[in-house]
Structure 1
Amino acid sequence: MNTPVQIGLPQLFLFLIAVIAIALLISSLMGLLSGRRELELFEDEDGRQYRRWRKHRRELRWKRGLGGVVMLILALFLLWLTFSIQSYLGLTNDIKVAQVQAQTFENDPQHMSVRLTMLDDKGNQISNKVYSMNGDRWQLECTMVKFPSWMNIFGIHSSYKLTRLEGTYSDPNLESTSKHTVVTLNGGDGDFFKSVYKQAWSSPFVDAAYGNAVFQPADTHTYDVYVSQTGLYAKPAGK
């Protein structure tokens, strides 16, 4: 499984804002709940006077803590703003993971040649192979592990793993009766995904674990395949 961590200047800036917001939050709460110290004058049996600081128990100071309330509201607003912006960056910062180009043979429209180029999360090519497959439509599959939204603050993208390339048919009758070609990628689903899938319902660090696929016709066009926070999608190369 690939778990990209997308840390850049926007994430660092938002993390700094979050730190400031948490500091304001702690300071405002301490200000609202802080104890009071007063200098009191005492006199002993011999008439000697002395002064001593006396600390009163902590109590809410709503009248005196107006500044603390303002800081508290500001801190909560900054935290909300940080999580909202980081969630948006996470949802819109998709990763190109593959490029696919397929075409059917002139004398056999139900048989095709598929070139699959796989990329790592930095855009570097890791494989480039051509497969002969049955069908007139290619389908690329992956497994996904989606994390809770609050983990976006750390720039953590959903985990993904390309697992299969399959040839399918646009004709439903051929799809149900004809032989299919399946190529296993990266060792298939693997034990890691299977174990995470079983724990997804109870783990606080896993929002969901599931399979996902994207398909396009073998029309000779080249398609770029991207993974978002929720799954794969394809669009014509260069767009």
Structure 2
Amino acid sequence: MNTPVQLGPPQLVLFLVAVLGVGLLISSLMGLFGGRRELEEFEDEYGQRYRRWRKRRRELRWRRGASGIIMLILAVSLLWLTFAVQSYLGLTNDIKVARVQATSFENAPHNMDLQLTMLDKDGNPTSTKSYQINGDLWRLECVMIKFPAWMNILGIHSSYKLTRLEGSYNDAKLESSSHHVVVELNGGAGDFFYQTYGNSLTKPFVDATYGNGVFEPADGKTYDIYVSQTGLYAKQASN
């Protein structure tokens, strides 16, 4: 599984804002429910006096609560702003993971020559392979592990792994009766995905695990494949 971590000045600023928000939240709650200390005097049987500080039980301090409530509102607002901005950055920071070009044969209908280029996290090619695929459409599949929103503060993108390449037919009858070519990529889904799927131990750190796919016609055009926080999508390449 690939788990991109998108770190940069925006994430650093948001992290500092989140720390400030948590500090204000703790301070405001302590101000509202803080205990107080009182100086008490004691005298023993010999007439000797002693003093000690005694901490009274915690109670809601309404008279001093106005400033605490203002700080509480400010802290919650900062945390909400941090999550909202980081979620936006995460949803708009998509990663290009592959490039596909498929061309159908005029003299052999429902067949295509497909070239798949795999890309690293920086968009650089890592491998290019050609496949003979049956069908009118090509389909590229992946598995996804989506993390909860609070982990977005750290710039953690959803985990993904490209797992399968195959073709499909426009005609439903051909789809059910014709030969299919399925190419496994990167060793398939792998043990990590299946161990994470439905595992109660990883539930606090995993929002969802699922499969996803994108398909396009074998029209000879080149498509760039992107992974977002929710899955794959294809865009016609500009170059």
Q: Same fold (TM over 0.5)?
A: yes
Per the alignment, residue 24 of structure 2 pairs with 24
1:132-151 pair list within 5 angstroms: 132-151=132-151
Tell me, yes or no, if structure 1 residue 82 matches structure 2 residue 89: no
Structure 2 CA distance for partners of 1:222 and 1:70, relative to 1, 3 Å: same
Per the alignment, residue 130 of structure 2 pairs with 130
Alpha-carbon distance, 1:204 to partner: 1.9
1:44-193 pair list within 5 angstroms: 55-193=55-193
Tell me, yes or no, if structure 1 residue 235 matches structure 2 residue 235: yes
Q: Is the 8 A contact 1:200 1:207 kept in 2?
A: no
1:26-76 C-alpha deviation (Å, 9 max, x unpaired): 111222223334567899999999987665443222112311111111111
Where 1:96 maps in the other structure, the secondary structure is strand
Structure 2 CA distance for partners of 1:220 and 1:51, relative to 1, 3 Å: same
Stretches of structure 1 that go unaligned for 5 or more consecutive residues are: none
Distance 1:49 1:199 in 2: 63
Per the alignment, residue 215 of structure 1 pairs with 215
Alpha-carbon distance, 1:109 to partner: 2.5
Structure 2 CA distance for partners of 1:108 and 1:201, relative to 1, 3 Å: farther
Distance 2:92 2:26 in 1: 32
Structure 2 CA distance for partners of 1:55 and 1:139, relative to 1, 3 Å: closer
Where 1:204 maps in the other structure, the secondary structure is helix
Distance 1:221 1:113 in 2: 12
How many percent identity over aligned positions?
Answer: 69
Q: Is the 8 A contact 1:200 1:208 kept in 2?
A: no
Structure 2 CA distance for partners of 1:47 and 1:228, relative to 1, 3 Å: same
Q: Is the 8 A contact 2:196 2:202 kept in 1?
A: no
Alpha-carbon distance, 1:196 to partner: 1.6
Stretches of structure 2 that go unaligned for 5 or more consecutive residues are: none
Alpha-carbon distance, 1:183 to partner: 1.1
Distance 1:202 1:177 in 2: 41
Alpha-carbon distance, 1:110 to partner: 1.6
Distance 1:19 1:183 in 2: 47
Q: Is the 8 A contact 1:140 1:164 kept in 2?
A: yes
Distance 1:58 1:105 in 2: 79
Distance 2:50 2:204 in 1: 58
Distance 1:6 1:45 in 2: 71
Aligned-residue RMSD, C-alpha: 2.6
Distance 1:169 1:188 in 2: 23
Structure 1 range deviating more: 49-58 or 129-138: 49-58
